[in-house]
Amino acid sequence: MAGRKIVVALGGNAILTNDASAKAQQNALRKTAASLVQFVEQGDQLVISHGNGPQVGNLLLQQAAGATEKNPAMPIDSAVSMTQGSIGYWLQNAMDEALAEKGLDKSVATVVTQVEVDADDQAFANPTKPIGPFYKADEVAQQRLDHPEFTFVEDAGRGYRRVVPSPKPIGVVEADVINQMVDANIIPISVGGGGVPVVKDGSRYIGREAVIDKDFASEKLAELIHADLLIILTAVDNVYVNFNQANQQKLTDVTVEELGDYIEEKQFAPGSMLPKIQAAMDFVNHSDHGKTVITSLDNVGEFLTSGAGTTVMKTRNTVLNK
C-alpha cells in the first residue's frame, strides 16, 4: 500500500465554513492538513488539488465593487490564479505545521497551474459553473442590476449563484513540473480551483474567462502524472443511489459500467455529485491500473485502515488494493 502516487482533490468544505474570513479558512485548512498528513505517514506520495468557487466569486465581487478606470478589476483567469496563490499559501502553511508535528521531513509548495482547454469548447457559449456566494431572490435582483454582465441561476434549491463557462480540461501545462516535485519528495499543491484556463496559440498560452471544474482538472492531472489513485473528497463518506429516499443505497465498490447505468437513471445531481462521478470514471478508463475513491475528509482515517468509501473500478475482477 505504501508508496502510492495519490492525487487528492479537496472539496469546498475542506476550506470554507460559514465564515469567509482568511482566519476562518486558515483554521479549516489546519483540520484538513491533519487528515491529509495520514497519507504521508504511511509513505504515500501526495499531490493536492482544491476548489475555489466561493473564493474566486467573492474576489470578483470585491474587485467589481472597487473597480475604477485607473484600477480596473482583473479578468476571471487572473482571479483564479490569485486564489490559487492565497489558498495555496494557507494550505502549504497548514501542511508544513502538520508535517512538523508528526516529525515528517517533507516539503510543500504551491504551483500556479495552467490547464489547457479547447478554444472551441461549447461551454464558452453556455455558462454553467457556479461561483461565489448564494443569494436570495431579492438579493440576486439587486446583483443583476449592479452587474448586468453577470449570469445568475437558481442552484439546487439553495438560492441563486453566478455561473461562468466551465470548459473541459485537455491538458495540464505544468504536469511535468509537478511530477518532478513528487520525485524530489515535495508535496505539490496544484490545479487549484481547476487551474487557470488557457488556450494554446502557437508558443503562447492565453487565459480565458472561465472556471474549470476542479474534479475534472484533478482527473486530468492524475492521468498525466500516472497516479496510482485519485481520491475525490466531498461532504459524504460514500456515493449513494436514491439519495435521501427511503430506498437509499450506499455504494462501496462500483464499476464504471454500473455508474454509467446510474447516470442514465439520473441518480446524481448535476453540478454536485455528477461531475465527481464523471471524473472518477474518466480516471479509471484512462489509466492502466488506477482506481478512484470518493469519500469525505472526515473518513480519510477509515479509508486508510479499512478501505471505507466508494471505490470506482473498471471491472469486478479489479484487484481492490485499497
Write the pLDDT tens digit of every residue in 233-264.
Answer: 999 999 999 998 999 999 999 999 999 999 99
Which of 13, 27, 93, 299 is the catalytic position?
Answer: 13
Which of 88, 192, 214, 309 is the catalytic position?
Answer: 214
Mean pLDDT over residues 184-191, rounded? Answer: 97
Mean pLDDT over residues 160-164, rounded? Answer: 90
CB atoms within 10 A of CB 173: 16
Mean pLDDT over residues 290-313, rounded? Answer: 94
| Numbered ranges of CATH 3.40.1160.10 in the chain | 5-227, 228-322
List C-alpha distances in Å: 216 to 16, 167, 282, 296, 302.
Answer: 20, 10, 8, 18, 25
Q: What is residue 133's predicted lDDT score, i.e. its pLDDT?
A: 80
CATH class of 5-227: alpha beta
Which of 5, 129, 220, 291 is the catalytic position?
Answer: 129
pTM of the model: 0.90
Round the average pLDDT of the chain to a whole number and report it.
92
pLDDT at 296 over 50: yes
Helix axes 274-286, 256-264, angle to 10 degrees: 150
Which of 57, 179, 192, 276 is the catalytic position?
Answer: 276
Confirm whether 5 is a catalytic residue: no
317: confidence class by pLDDT, cuts 50, 70, 90: low
Least Cα distance to 293 among 275, 274, 280, 279 occurs for 280
Which of 12, 159, 171, 207 is the catalytic position?
Answer: 12
Mean pLDDT over residues 151-176, rounded? Answer: 92
| CATH architecture entry for 228-322 | 3-Layer(aba) Sandwich (3.40)
Mean pLDDT over residues 181-205, rounded? Answer: 96
pLDDT at 1 over 60: no
Q: What is residue 10's predicted lDDT score, i.e. its pLDDT?
A: 96
Confirm whether 129 is a catalytic residue: yes
d(CA 304, CA 42): 9
Confirm whether 321 is a catalytic residue: no
